[in-house]
């Protein structure tokens, strides 16, 4: 029997690419998104249009439906669950962005905590098989030990965004313990690629360098990021659809729970210099750089230990920063006049 999957945040960057992959793999998919204006909604609408064209062109047998729904709206979300019998829920809907969480923390509480609690309640009553949800590498805060491992402490978030993601992990563990359904959290490490978020550095840097504007290099360029290409991320998620954590006590507690958290990253951090060089090479233009101190909420390095995820799913990223940036820049050149993205 074909399984039906709910993807929240389906007009977002990861959600858009994931829906395509799920449909190609024969899953029926319902996508929901609030289409908010955190960044230009035209980009989200362009993703939805591209997805609709993809469905028509591929003549897929799988079912696809999109509805505008905000997960913080409890009644609207309940109706989506009442109208569908979901086997799997993938929650990617969230208020993203570290720096914006300093300016507008309430948006993060509403979406990332209230909205996620609504998801958990709906999953509980609908008796879904598995919930996969987005966490973030930001939960590691300023941890000095590298690479980050899932057993490292995550008690000291340095942004409201990170605190909300840690709260998601705690809520998922408690719901799984109390109500018995499977929860898998994914700590994403700097995802990039075509149709990406314009607030991310790779997108804003590309636009600025292309137009001859200067770029801000924080912490004097002494930053490392575990950039992970979108195709690798999507493959990693799809490979987890049939995974169910064992309902066993963990190394810290006797409380049984079918909840587990994985790092999902490239396992190969890239310096800011190499990252900018890749953009310059792909554009054929040089960057004008403003060197600035590190910003509040930022961390100097991210580096994912992915051994746990690899052991259960075979996850191993394949895309180098040079290849990934080249693909993104090619997409950007083709679409920069259609999508403002700034």
From the candidates 39, 140, 161, 192, give the one annotated as an active-site residue: 161
**Under-70 pLDDT residues of the chain:** 248-256, 297, 339-342
**pLDDT given for residue 56 in this prediction:** 87
Residue ranges of the alpha helices (H) in 127-226? 160-179, 201-211
DSSP states of 29-97: EEEEE---SSS-HHHHHHHHHHHHHHHHHHT-SS-EEEEE--TT-HHHHHHHHHT---SEEEE------
What's the whole-model pTM score? 0.92
**pLDDT given for residue 119 in this prediction:** 98
Annotated catalytic residue 175: no
> For 25, which DSSP code?
T
Tally of CB atoms within 10 A around 316: 13
**pLDDT given for residue 19 in this prediction:** 97
Give domain 4-192+229-265+306-318's CATH superfamily.
NAD(P)-binding Rossmann-like Domain (3.40.50.720)
| 3-class secondary structure, 52 | helix
């Amino acid at each position: 029997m074909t399984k039906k999957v709910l993807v929240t945040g389906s007009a977002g960057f990861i959600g858009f690419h994931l829906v395509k992959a799920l449909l190609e793999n024969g899953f029926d998919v319902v996508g929901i998104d609030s289409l908010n204006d955190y960044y230009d909604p035209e980009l989200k609408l362009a993703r939805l249009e591209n997805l609709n064209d993809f469905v028509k062109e591929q003549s897929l047998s799988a079912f696809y439906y999109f509805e505008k729904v905000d997960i913080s709206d409890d009644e609207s979300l309940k109706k989506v669950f009442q109208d569908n019998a979901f086997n799997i829920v993938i929650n990617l809907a969230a208020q993203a962005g570290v720096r914006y969480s300093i300016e507008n923390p309430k948006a993060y509480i509403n979406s990332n905590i209230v909205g996620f609690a609504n998801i958990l309640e709906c999953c509980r009553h609908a008796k879904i098989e598995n919930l996969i949800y987005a966490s973030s590498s930001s939960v590691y805060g300023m941890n000095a030990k590298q690479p980050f491992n899932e057993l490292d402490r995550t008690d000291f978030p340095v942004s409201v965004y990170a605190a909300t993601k840690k709260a998601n992990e705690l809520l998922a563990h408690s719901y799984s313990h109390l109500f018995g359904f499977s929860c898998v959290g994914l700590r994403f490490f700097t995802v990039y690629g075509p149709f990406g978020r314009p607030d991310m550095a790779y997108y804003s840097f590309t636009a600025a360098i292309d137009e001859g504007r200067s770029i801000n290099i924080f912490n004097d360029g002494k930053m490392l990021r575990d950039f992970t290409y979108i195709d690798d991320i999507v493959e990693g998620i799809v490979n987890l659809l049939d995974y169910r954590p064992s309902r066993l006590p963990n190394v810290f507690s006797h409380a049984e729970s079918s909840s587990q958290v994985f790092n999902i990253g490239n396992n190969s951090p890239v310096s800011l210099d190499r990252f900018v060089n890749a953009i310059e090479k792909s554009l054929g233009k040089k960057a004008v750089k403003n060197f600035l101190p590190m910003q509040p909420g930022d961390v100097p390095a991210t580096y994912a230990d992915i051994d746990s995820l690899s052991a259960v799913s075979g996850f191993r990223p394949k895309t180098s920063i040079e290849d990934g940036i080249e693909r993104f820049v090619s997409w950007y050149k083709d679409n920069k006049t259609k999508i403002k993205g700034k």
